[in-house]
Amino acid sequence: MEYGHPRGHVFYRKMARSYPCITRGEGIYLYDENGKRFIDGSGGAIVVNIGHGQKEVAQAAMEQMAQAGFVHGTQFTTRVMEEYAEALAGVLPQGIDKIYFLSGGSESVEAAVKMARQYQADSGEVERWRVASRWNSYHGNTLGALSLTGRTGSRKPYLPLLINFPHFPPPYCYRCSFGLTYPQCGLECAKALEKMIQMEGPETISAVILEPVGGATIGALVPPEGYLSKIQEICRRYGLLYIDDEVMAGMGRTGRWFAVEHWGVQPDIVVLGKGMSSGYFPLSAAATRAEVAERLKEKGGGFVHGHTYSHHPVACAVGLTVLRILQRNRLVERCRERGNYLMKKLEELRASSAIVGDVRGKGLMTAIEFVKDKKTKEPFPRSAKVTEKILDTAFEHGLVLYPGTGFVDGINGDMVMVGPPFVVEEKEIDEILQILKATLSKIEEKIS
């Protein structure tokens, strides 16, 4: 049976394709109703970290549902939420220990924006309401989060609805916005934040939000050494809160519990999602320092915010179980080791392929950027749909990847992300690369 628009009643995310129906998953593999096996080479949308088919997670969810499936966050707490908050605070960046549980990354980003605004207002900085972010960033698809998102293709249909949040260039060293080379550049991309703050008026800006390692809108972009420290220093100098968006990069994906730990910076608010539940249940969080939470309590009686499904006991049961599996099986350390092996193989792919311009990332959060000319870095025209062709060809061969387009100039730019679950074996990484090589060989034949 084929599934897709216009058959049935599902409003599919992509209406011009058919969908295999997945009936089970195990480790890094998914199986459809016809028995075809897919390697989940991207953990869905860089979500699945502990692997598919973990019955321990299902058991924890079922037990919590049997005890109390729902209580409202303004009326009750639950033991599982208290235990999860304590366990999660133990791995969060130093000083971040007050956790507001939600159900999706966009929700958590909006909560962080409101938290920063309320903190500034309660501190007497009543004009501070805007949050600065970067171009080519992704912070969500609800209107507030989309206003922060720097992917022009996602923003364009909704521009009249978006909030006037300022943006500045990303640290995209492969295609430097300033035509400079690191380290001679002096981190001009970080200094651009300060110039923007001065132009916009520091008294109007409450916070800066950054992905420590860029996500699917620019492809596992790793900042150069000194960049995040400079951003933090600028935030401190101008009285801005530093919001660390770890929705994709957090919970071990880069080989550390949180990506900012690679550079030793200390954010004021951390946004979490995706890997918190490994995709088993909708779960996210906005976490902050005790000082911020206490300020909100003193001035306004608490955080003026809420969702029906915030502080959900079943979500917390799932999150706690995922966290315990990550710790017990040392999967964050395993992610770092497997990530080193994956990057080595991707570098070999870059050297052998005529269209792989760059490979980048940390841990099991990596990306491959494709170019028409490796010497000039000229991108393929968007009309060629290179990403889609690579994605579809790999899919036919049973490999799932995560796409990204438009990051070069808002229109052009092709890449795929590779980020399997942390349980991946080296031999399975080899299989992923074999399919990738065969896929690229076929694509190169067609475009040559």
Note the pLDDT tens digit of each residue in 148-191.
999 999 999 999 999 999 999 999 999 999 999 999 999 999 99
Provide the pLDDT for residue 437.
Answer: 97
Binned at pLDDT 50, 70 and 90, residue 300 comes out as confident
Work out the average pLDDT over 68-90: 98
Q: Is the pLDDT of residue 7 over 70?
A: yes
Per residue in 102-147, pLDDT tens? 999 999 999 999 999 999 999 999 999 999 999 999 999 999 999 9
Q: Is the pLDDT of residue 1 over 80?
A: no
CATH class name, domain 22-53+330-447: alpha beta
Using a pLDDT cut of 70, give the percent of the chain over it.
100
Q: Is the pLDDT of residue 239 over 90?
A: yes
Give buried/exposed letters for 290-307 (b at 16+ CB in 10 A, else e).
eebbebbeeeeeebebeb
Q: Is the pLDDT of residue 56 over 70?
A: yes
Provide the pLDDT for residue 447.
Answer: 81
Angstrom distance (rounded) from CA 42 to CA 250: 15
Per residue in 23-41, pLDDT tens? 999 999 999 999 999 999 9
Q: Is the pLDDT of residue 299 over 90?
A: no
Dihedral angle sign, alpha carbons of residues 427, 429, 430, 436: positive
Strand partners, 98: 288
- Count CB atoms within 10 A of the CB of residue 190: 23
Provide the pLDDT for residue 2.
Answer: 79
Angstrom distance (rounded) from CA 142 to CA 127: 24
Provide the pLDDT for residue 446.
Answer: 82
Per residue in 308-317, pLDDT tens? 999 999 999 9
Work out the average pLDDT over 41-66: 98
Question: Which tokens is 367 given?
Answer: 């990306």
Identify whether the C-beta of residue 402 lies closer than 8 Å to the C-beta of residue 216: yes
Angstrom distance (rounded) from CA 240 to CA 217: 25
- List the domain boundaries for the chain: 22-53+330-447, 56-328
Q: What are phi and psi of 165, to 5 degrees?
A: -95, 135
pTM of the model: 0.97
Pick the CATH number of 56-328 from 3.90.850.10, 3.40.640.10, 3.40.30.10, 3.30.499.10: 3.40.640.10
Angstrom distance (rounded) from CA 328 to CA 26: 19
Residue 387 CA, chain-centre distance (Å), reads 19
Q: Is the pLDDT of residue 448 over 70?
A: no
* Three-state DSSP state, 70: coil
Dihedral angle sign, alpha carbons of residues 170, 176, 177, 182: positive
Residue 81 CA, chain-centre distance (Å), reads 24
> Which value, in Å, is the radius of gyration of the alpha carbons in the chain?
22
